Amino acid sequence: MIDPPPRAARWRFRQHSVLPGFGLTLGYTVLYLSIIVLIPLSALFVRTASMPLEKFWQAVSEPRVVASYRLTFGTSLIGALVNVVFGFCVAWSLVRYRFPGRRLIDALVDLPFALPTAVSGIALTAIYARNGWIGKYLAEVGIKSAFSPLGVTIAMTFIGLPFVVRTLQPAIEELDGESEEAAASLGATRWQTFWRVTFPGLLPSLLTGFALAFARAVGEYGSVVFISGNMPLKTEITPLLIITKLEQYDYAGATAIAVVMLLASFLILLAINGLQWWVGASGRKGV
């Protein structure tokens, strides 16, 4: 049994600690999160709680509102899934291979972060419009990209790609190359090595990137409002509907819709975090 260090040694450890004490750090964290996150979000629930239940249900279940839910969450989900596939390919190429222009491509991945959302929305609309560089070729085969749900999905995919790539890159860099070599030496094919050795180690990071891309797309406004066309019941996203109700001084309706979006996003992220925990626990049991 190891004896605990003497009191003087414990005091010297506390005295030379790099960070301040636990109480001060925790207090600052709670205060900061309360001011920045908890208090503004709780204001939504306080404002919504003053509404009668019938009025709340009427505000959040109108056909126009339900159509915006379907479009927003549906296109966000599709965009996040697309980014999981192609974001993985981009991250894998940037980490595992060396080729001319690699640093330039790596810098371009962050462009949706730095670019104002309104600028990206205008650029996407110009490219995918019927007379745009890409849109005119899609129009020839009967595909309407801009001012359609497809255009909304393109915008959601555009703004979510960096989250997947930047989340996967450190995980790919930390992969154990010896495990892949051992699997290959034992006769495993490349596909078997990927699914049984490489992919399980990347799955938690992949889920994190998916969650970040999905959450970012659900709340996106600037890059979508131009390319969507904003047609009620067809291409109107929920954030735009909230802005519309605020402009009409319907603050109760806007806060009610915002609460529904907040709860839905929270439940989805909670489910994804639970799935991450389950995957991590399964991996530790396997080890």
**pLDDT at site 268:** 82
Q: How many angstroms separate the CA atoms of 249 and 259, rounded?
A: 17
- Give the DSSP per-residue string, 8-29: HHHHHHHHT-SS--HHHHHHHH
Query: For the chain, how many residues are written?
Result: 287
Question: What tokens appear for 167 in the block?
Answer: 């989340």
pLDDT, tens digit, 9 for 90 and up, residues 81-92: 999 999 999 999
| Alpha helices (H) along 16-148 | 22-33, 39-49, 53-60, 63-96, 102-108, 111-114, 117-128, 135-140
Candidates 252, 189, 224, 184; CA nearest to 74 is: 224
Q: Which of 86-92's residues contact partners 24+ apart within 8 Å by CB, and which partners?
A: 86/161, 87/161, 87/163, 87/164, 87/165, 87/168, 87/209, 87/213, 88/164, 88/168, 88/202, 88/206, 90/161, 90/165, 91/164, 91/165, 91/168, 91/169, 91/172, 92/168, 92/172
pLDDT, tens digit, 9 for 90 and up, residues 51-82: 888 888 998 999 999 999 999 999 999 999 99
> Quick one: fold of 53-286?
MetI-like fold (1.10.3720)
Q: With 50 as the cut, is the pLDDT of residue 271 above it? A: yes
Alpha-carbon dihedral of residues 165, 75, 271, 52, nearest 10 degrees?
A: 140
pLDDT, tens digit, 9 for 90 and up, residues 207-234: 889 988 998 899 888 889 989 888 888 9
Question: What tokens appear for 199 in the block?
Answer: 């992919």
Residue 156: pLDDT band by 50, 70, 90 thresholds? very high
Q: How many angstroms separate the CA atoms of 12 and 272, rounded?
A: 42
**pLDDT at site 283:** 59
Buried b (16+ CB within 10 A) or exposed e, 24-39: eeeeeeeeeeeeeeee
The 10 Å Cβ neighbour count of residue 224 is: 29
The 10 Å Cβ neighbour count of residue 6 is: 9
Q: How many angstroms separate the CA atoms of 108 and 173, rounded?
A: 20
pLDDT, tens digit, 9 for 90 and up, residues 18-44: 666 677 888 888 888 888 888 888 888
Domain map (residue ranges) of the chain: 53-286
